[in-house]
Chain A
Amino acid sequence: MSLELVAFILLAGVAVVTGLLALLVRELVHTILWVAVFFVDLALVYFLLSAPFLGVLQLGVYAGAVTILLLFGVMVTRKRIFFREAATGIGPIPLGLALGVIVLLATVATTLPTTSGTVHAYAVTDLSVLLFGSDGGWLVLLGLSMMGALAGAIYLVREGRE
């Protein structure tokens, strides 16, 4: 029971609990808080898996930008502050379908093979050589898709719709 395994079990437990809480609480602002904790927890998992650049990127993009985006979405589309959302009234068929999917995934998870437990250590400079060298085309495509998404989002929320 090494320290890495203990740390991973703790982080995984916190992530599962905060993910479920984010989707089940009734106050939408509480959901945003749980979502922020979830993203920070996943960044810590990336640090544990020897991906420090990705951990910092997760903190900046997800725990920073995506959380604030979701919070602005909640603020603009609600009627007054701390308005309690109505109970969702989950019907039996979607709930049964969701539980069936979770049970299926859990049975798949127990049959996964376990390879050797060594986490390789990488240098961030090698990642930058890869990202801006041979994988640079993907980065350019990502930038172009982000520009297209920006144009689409501005078009969707423009004034002057009927």
Chain B
Amino acid sequence: MSDLSSGAVLAFSVILLGIGLFGLLTRRNFILVLIAIEVAMNAAILNFVAFGAFLGNGPGASGLSGQAIAVVLVGLAATEVAVGLAIVLALNRARGSINVGEATALKL
């Protein structure tokens, strides 16, 4: 019998979200901003997996629904990283740097 409680896993997920928000708000390199977004998304995916692990087969969805949602979310997050990197390449070609302060106009 283990004493790994759901509160511990959720607290870890909240701390990861805080780290992702810190990186998103304070970094000026576009790729570091993308990495911070990925950290925050992994926190949300961990949240789904934790709820799937600690809530059994209840009356609503089964406990595996959390893992099914997490599978779809992992795919979506990877897709978003790919599109973000395409934006980084386009911005680098237009401005010559990947400083987020340079992206001030709506048109590249």
Asked if B76 is at the interface (CB within 8 A of a chain A CB), the reply is yes
Instruction: Say yes or no: A70 contacts B85, CB within 8 Å.
Output: yes
Report A89-145 residues with CB < 8 Å from chain B CB. Answer: 89-90, 94-95, 97-99, 101-102, 105-106, 108-110, 112-120, 122, 126-127, 130-131, 135, 138-139, 142, 145
Instruction: Say yes or no: A28 contacts B54, CB within 8 Å.
Output: no
Task: Knowing A73-B89, A77-B31, say if A115 contacts B54 (CB, 8 Å).
Answer: yes
Number of interface residues of B (CB under 8 A): 74
Q: From DSSP, what is the main secondary structure of chain A's interface residues?
A: helix
A43 to chain B, nearest CB (A): 10
Asked if B72 is at the interface (CB within 8 A of a chain A CB), the reply is yes
Instruction: Say yes or no: A109 contacts B92, CB within 8 Å.
Output: no
Task: Knowing A105-B18, A110-B11, A153-B86, say if A61 contacts B75 (CB, 8 Å).
Answer: yes
Instruction: Say yes or no: A117 contacts B5, CB within 8 Å.
Output: yes
Name B49's contact: one of A5, A46, A156 (CB within 8 Å): A46
User: Can you name the residue of chain B whose Cβ is closest to the Cβ of A55?
Assistant: B49
B55-71 interface mask toward A, CB cutoff 8 Å, 1 = contact, 0 = none? 01100001111011111
Size range of the interface on A?
35 or more
Asked if A81 is at the interface (CB within 8 A of a chain B CB), the reply is no
Task: Knowing A61-B74, A126-B64, A127-B68, say if A5 contacts B88 (CB, 8 Å).
Answer: no
B38 to chain A, nearest CB (A): 7
9 chain-A/chain-B pairs, Cβ below 8 angstroms: A2-B2, A5-B4, A19-B16, A22-B35, A62-B38, A66-B81, A73-B85, A88-B29, A109-B10
